[in-house]
Structure 1
Amino acid sequence: MGQTKSRFRQFTDEQWERIEPLLPSNEGRQGHRFRDNRKVVEGIIYRYRAGIPWRDLPSEEFGAWQTVWKRHARYARDGTWDRILHVILADADAAGKIDWNVSDDATICRAHQHSTNTTRPEQDTGGRVESKNRPFRDCEPAGHGIGRSRGGLTTKIHSAVDGRGRPLANVITGGQRNDGAMLAEVLADIHVPRHGKGRPRTRPDAVIADKAYSSGTIRRQLRSRGIAAVIPEKSDTIAARERRGSRGGRPPKLDTGLYKDRNVVERSFALAKQWRALATRYDKLAITYRAAVTLCAILTWLRRLGDTP
C-alpha cells in the first residue's frame, strides 16, 4: 500500500491523500499559494524525529528550512493540526474504532538550553496551551510550558489515550506541575466531533490512572460526569481509613481487570519519544512544541487505523 517509505518520508500516499485536503491552502490571503505541502510537512516531521536544528534540514529533500519552520509556526498558531486530528478522530469514532476506556498520565521531557533562553517566570503556572474561545496564537502560557523540577528545567506532556494507546488529548505544562491537578484540563481537551448532527463527544466511559490521581476531589469530579474511576488508592489513604474503622467508610471500587490496561499510555509515550525533539524539548514556544506532539498523534492514528501494514 502506498509508496515505499524512506528515512525522509513518513506518510504513505494513502495517508497523505487523507490529510492534504485538510491543510490550509492560503488561497485568497496575502502572499503566494502554499506549494510543496507534502515536502514541507515531511520536513517538519523529519526535524522532530532527528532532533536537529531547523537550519540543518537537508534542503535537497525539504527545500528552504525557513519555509518549513514558518509553516510549522503558522500551523501551530492557527490550530491546523488539532483540526486535522479532530477529523481523524471523528472518522474513527463513526467507525466504532475508539476505545473509550481512557488512560491518563504524564511524562517529563528535559528542556534543552536552546529552549530556555527566553524571558519567563521562575515557575510555569501550567494550564491549557489552547482555548476554544480564543485564537491559538493568544494562548502561549506565560512560562512557555517550562518549569523547574527535580530534573532541572523540564516540560511535562499530560496525555489521555484511548484503550489502544492512541492519543486523544495532549496538554503541555512545566515539569513541576502535579499530574492529578491537570486531569480536568486534559479531559477538557478531549473533543471528538460527530458525523452529522450531535454534539462532539467529550466524555470517556472510564478513566484509568495510577495512584498519583487518587484523591477524593478527582473521584468526585469523575462521578459528577458519569465517568468510572479506575484508580487504585494510595497506601496512606488505605491506612487512614482502616484506623477509623467503620467510620472510615467503604473503599472505592477498582476494576482490576481494566486497570491492567493502564500501561497503554506508557507505551504511547515511548512511541512519541522516538521523535528525539519530543523526548528533549528544543522549542522556545509551548504552542510549537505541542503542535509537534499533535502531529505525532495524527501519524499514530493513521498508522493504527490500518493505512499501513
Structure 2
Amino acid sequence: MRSTGSRYRVFTDEQWQRIEPLLPSNQGRRGHPFGEHRRVVEGIAYRYRTGIPWRDLPREQFGPWQTVWKRHRRYAADGTWDRVLTQVLAEADAAGMIDWAVSVDATIARAHQHATNTTRPDQDTGAGANHKKLPLTEVEPPGHGIGRSRGGLTTKIHHAVDGRGRPLATIVTGGQRNDGAVLAQVLAEIHVPRPGPGAARTRPEAVIADRAYATGVIRTELRRRRIRAVIPDKKDQIAARQRRGSRGGRPPAFDGQAYRGRNVVERYFALAKQWRGLATRYDKLAITYRAAVTICAILTWLRA
C-alpha cells in the first residue's frame, strides 16, 4: 500500500490495526478482494473531515474518488460501521471504560443545496437512518432525513453519550423532529455485547437530559426500565403544580449535581462538528451521512 502522508491521515497505525480485522476484505467484485483498504478508508474519513466534494479527493493520496465513494456507500448500506462501533464498545465495556450515566441531546446540521436537490415526499422524516437491527440491506428513511425547521432545510443528529462524552448511539432524523419524541429510539440503539456469555447491555444507570425531554411519558418509560431520570422540570410545569397547591403533587426527584455533567454531550457535538462534512450535510442519502457520524464516533473511542 502506498503510504498516505500524515497530513491526510485520520487513523493512526495502532487505531487501524484495531479496526482492520473488523472490515470486510473480500466483498468487491467476485473473486477480487478490496485493494489498498486503508488508503480508501482514510479517503472516506478525509472527505468528511474537510468537507470537500468527492471528486476533489487527492487522487495521488487516495486513488480514484469513485472507488472511495463506492466503498463508503457499500459500508453505509450493509451496516459495516455499526458493527465496528459495536465491537469497539464491547472492548471498552470489558475494560471498564464506559460510564453508564448517559447524556442525551440533539444537534442541527444545515443541509447544503447539494443534499437537498432530491425529491422528498411530504411526510414525516422521523423513521431514522438506522438499520443496525435490520437485515443488511439499504434502509433509507422518508425524505432522506431532511426536514424544514426554523433554520431551513436541516438534519438533526440525536446522540446518547456516556458520562465522559463518548457516543453510544446515534439516530439521524429531519430537523423538525422533537428531541423527546426520538428518545425511545435513541435508547433502543444502545447495544453493547459482553465478552463471553450474557446478554448485551442496553440499559443505562441514568439518563441526563435537558427540559426538552421533561414529559410524563418519558419519565414513566424510564421508571419502567428502572433508569434514573436526571431531567429538570419545565417552567410551565412548575408553575402549574404551584397553582394547584397541595393537589399539584410532589415535584419529580432531580439530582442537580448529576445534571452538571450533561454538558459532555454538548462538548461532543462541538468536537464532531470540527469535521466540516458533519457540521454541514452534503450527502443526499441519510444512510451515508449517518455512516460518517458513526466513523467519527469510532475514532472518538479509539482515541480513548
Compute the TM-score of the two structures, normalised by the length of structure 2. 0.96
**3-state secondary structure, aligned to 1:98:** coil
**C-alpha distance in 2, partners of 1:272/1:294?**
10
**C-alpha distance in 2, partners of 1:234/1:122?**
31
- Encode CA deviations 1:113-152: one digit per residue, 9 max, x unaligned: 1001111123543123224553353421011000001110
113-122 vs 133-142, greater mean Cα deviation: 133-142
Identical counterparts, % of pairs: 74
- Encode CA deviations 1:226-258: one digit per residue, 9 max, x unaligned: 000000000000000011111111001111111
1:270 maps to which residue? 270
Give the RMSD, CA atoms, in angstroms: 1.6
In 2 relative to 1, CA 31–57 (structure 1 residues): closer, same or farther, beyond 3 Å? farther
Q: Does 1:221 find its partner at 2:213?
A: no
1:20 maps to which residue? 20
2:85 alignment partner AA? L
**Does the CA contact (< 8 Å) of 2:207 and 2:228 recur in 1?**
yes
2:75 maps to which residue? 75
2:280 maps to which residue? 280
2:61 maps to which residue? 61
In 2 relative to 1, CA 186–178 (structure 1 residues): closer, same or farther, beyond 3 Å? same
1:155 alignment partner AA? T
**Does the CA contact (< 8 Å) of 2:4 and 2:39 recur in 1?**
no
**C-alpha distance in 2, partners of 1:282/1:92?**
32
**C-alpha distance in 2, partners of 1:9/1:49?**
10
Question: Where does 1:48-197 land on structure 2 (aligned, <5 Å)?
Answer: 48-197=48-197
Cα shift at 1:284? 0.4
Q: Aligned pairs, how many?
A: 302
1:243 alignment partner AA? R
Cα shift at 1:12? 1.2
In 2 relative to 1, CA 18–105 (structure 1 residues): closer, same or farther, beyond 3 Å? same
**C-alpha distance in 1, partners of 2:286/2:34?**
25
Which structure 1 residue ranges, 5 or more long, are not aligned? Answer: 305-309
In 2 relative to 1, CA 249–4 (structure 1 residues): closer, same or farther, beyond 3 Å? farther
Which structure 2 residue ranges, 5 or more long, are not aligned? Answer: none
1:156 alignment partner AA? K
2:294 maps to which residue? 294
Cα shift at 1:300? 0.5
Compute the TM-score of the two structures, normalised by the length of structure 1. 0.95
Cα shift at 1:11? 1.1
1:236 maps to which residue? 236
**Does the CA contact (< 8 Å) of 1:123 and 1:147 recur in 2?**
no
- Encode CA deviations 1:270-303: one digit per residue, 9 max, x unaligned: 0100000100000000000000000000001000
Cα shift at 1:220? 0.2
**C-alpha distance in 1, partners of 2:266/2:259?**
13
**3-state secondary structure, aligned to 1:274:** coil
2:221 alignment partner AA? Q
1:307 maps to which residue? none
